[in-house]
Chain A
């Protein structure tokens, strides 16, 4: 009787909250995230196809990653896992669900897990390179919001991305044209779970019970211009076609531009770059035209290089959407790569508004 009244009252009070904030992009990798989310010009790793197919011209060798494993998690996810480890964490009862919402208000657990395989083959020094990715990307993104009437806003999904691309040097190689074709299959689940739902003993929706799925194809077209000067300046441009995924929504189109400078210094190699992403303002909320939110700055110091694409130790730093990032990589050629990145993702509506601190762990083996 009491529960029924409360439920009725809360049903009257509940107003669902929309998910807002983060500009989500496929294939963000540990290297680019450490370098402030850059890669339109400087991508030279296995994630190059996700940033700009023309940057495959930066690849001067060949390799296969098998497997590639990457995990990204937020600090809040860590605290959630820590609590789960104590054995006291459970959401099986109504009281536990309410207590969870009350105690985790304002937190933002985020977990992303990527696994896949990559291959790249460079055919000549001008930059004729072909490559492909086969990637599964699983996402669990939870926000617990509104301390006055807490609710869980959850976004989860599973993307299966298959893409192949080629970079083609034009003329003497100052200009490079890149093309990627990709196929994306997505299962997604977006929902809000309120106090009302908890009192109603409504089960958490799952991908199986309430997920939406769809698939679509898209093409990325990229350009790279490598200025013939001592500064080794490079300019990059990419157009990413919108991918319609049916019930699972769409991946908006993107236009991006970048500029970079790269230098070989004997036992070290230095790269500095600035990217401007989402220049057509299709990836964020209506009216959001902040250039700061679309500006990404990054640098890399690679020590003891094995090739232009691999060094024993790489140190990286960056600045993205108002937040700094840093990372390191230990690489034994392409036989084994270990990557570690700390960065903050902007999950609000403008640069510097609501950072979500995240850690990236990367591991790949290959040949």
Chain B
């Protein structure tokens, strides 16, 4: 009888210990299985706790997890796909609907870029991912264009920029000769030519850093292009005119679009997106930029016949090829003069 009671009390003690352990340790501190990790991510997204969502979703390596990570970065950047889509009305105002979502700070732009990085890691992205990637990469391209060519949306919804007229003359980086009119006094002493300089200091590195993730530049100061002035050489019959030697002093900025760059993602998304929705083709910036087309400027003031000067030249700074992921100022200036997002 005594033995029975002892056993019972020991069992009771064990039960009490078990109770204590159970009550104190009945809570898990983290997910240990995939569904649990996914749920942690979703719970944070439900609560709009974006920092937590990024951390939790970032632990997932599945396509769904990567997609949710991307959506969390988007949300932290203040980019609402729903708002973008509801503001994209098709027709002339399609792209203008994106402008309200363009990241306004470096931090938000970085989040949008991280969203793209996450999407690109997906093994089997669907059309939804390509559409999101196209929209997000376009936001970052537009952000860079806003800084470069003062792109903005007018009151009527049309998109304008400093090259809207079809010429970059209205832009801060426009090219001009060192002088626009000539007289006999400009003729170089002891020679029979008017020396002129055409300087271009490049579009800068910020733009390329934003698009390609890196930037560089080439310089060439000796290439000369001959033109003809409207200053007549005295006592010539028939009348001849002093030549003009235009010495190009060029710094051409450039970049190579890496596989984790905004432009690369833009091309990746546009290439894989099979949607035929009107207007989305305007967002295929990579194809519009990496054309291999040169920028040529024609000067006519003070000239007998207009002189065309190409910014890139095979014997100086060569133009880069089409669709080779190499971008430089020559392609960009050509792109800008032909840029129409309306």
Q: Which residues of A contact B (CB under 8 A)?
A: 1-2, 5-6, 8-10, 12-15, 17, 20-21, 105-106, 144-149, 195, 227-231, 233, 259, 261, 272, 274, 285-290, 292-293, 295, 297, 319-322, 348-354
Contacts and interface: CB of A to CB of B under 8 A. Distances in A.
B8 A348 contact: no
A344 to B, nearest CB: 12
B75 A349 contact: no
Contacts of B42: 17, 145-146
Contacts of A14: 128
Contact of B12 (A231, A321, A349): A231
B26 A348 contact: no
Question: What are the 3 closest A-B residue pairs judged by CB atoms, nearest first?
Answer: A229-B8, A287-B33, A349-B36
Chain B interface, >50% SS class:
helix
10 contacts: A2-B90, A5-B90, A9-B88, A13-B131, A227-B11, A229-B4, A230-B9, A261-B12, A274-B15, A349-B35
A230 B8 contact: yes
Interface of B: 4-5, 7-9, 11-12, 15, 18-19, 22-23, 25-36, 38-40, 42-43, 45-48, 64, 67, 71-72, 74-75, 80-82, 85-86, 88-91, 126-128, 131-132, 275, 277-278
Contact of B32 (A147, A290, A352): A290
A320 B26 CA distance: 8
Contacts of A13: 81, 85, 128, 131-132
Given A20-B35, A147-B45, A231-B8, 13 more contacts: A9-B88, A15-B128, A17-B42, A106-B46, A106-B48, A148-B81, A227-B11, A229-B5, A274-B22, A287-B35, A322-B28, A349-B36, A351-B27
Contact of B15 (A145, A233, A288, A351): A233
Nearest to A285: B35
B39 A349 contact: yes
A147 B75 contact: yes
Nearest to A105: B46
Contact of A319 (B23, B33, B67, B90): B23
Contacts of A349: 31, 33, 35-36, 38-40
Given A15-B128, A351-B26, A233 B18 contact: no
Chain A interface, >50% SS class:
loop
Contact of B45 (A8, A145, A233, A289): A145
B154 to A, nearest CB: 20
A297 B28 contact: no
A15 B67 contact: yes
B32 to A, nearest CB: 7
Contact of A354 (B32, B43, B71): B43
Contact of B28 (A8, A272, A352): A352
Nearest to A144: B46
Contacts of B38: 20, 349
B233 to A, nearest CB: 65
Given A233-B12, A288-B35, A9 B45 contact: no
B82 A21 contact: no
A147 B15 CA distance: 45
A275 B80 CA distance: 46
A149 B72 CA distance: 11
A346 B126 CA distance: 32
A229 B7 CA distance: 9
B28 A9 contact: no
A149 B26 contact: no
Contacts of A5: 88-90, 277-278
A274 to B, nearest CB: 6
B128 to A, nearest CB: 4
Contacts of B26: 292, 295, 297, 319-322, 351
Contact of B27 (A2, A148, A233, A292): A292
Nearest to B25: A292
B86 to A, nearest CB: 6
B90 A350 contact: no
Contacts of B27: 292, 322, 351-352
Contacts of A21: 39
A319 B24 CA distance: 10
B18 A274 contact: yes
A146 B8 contact: no
Contact of A353 (B22, B28, B126, B278): B28
B127 A350 contact: no
B269 to A, nearest CB: 12
Contacts of B86: 6
Nearest to A261: B15
A10 B82 CA distance: 8
A20 B39 contact: yes
A50 to B, nearest CB: 22
Contacts of B36: 285, 287-288, 348-350, 353
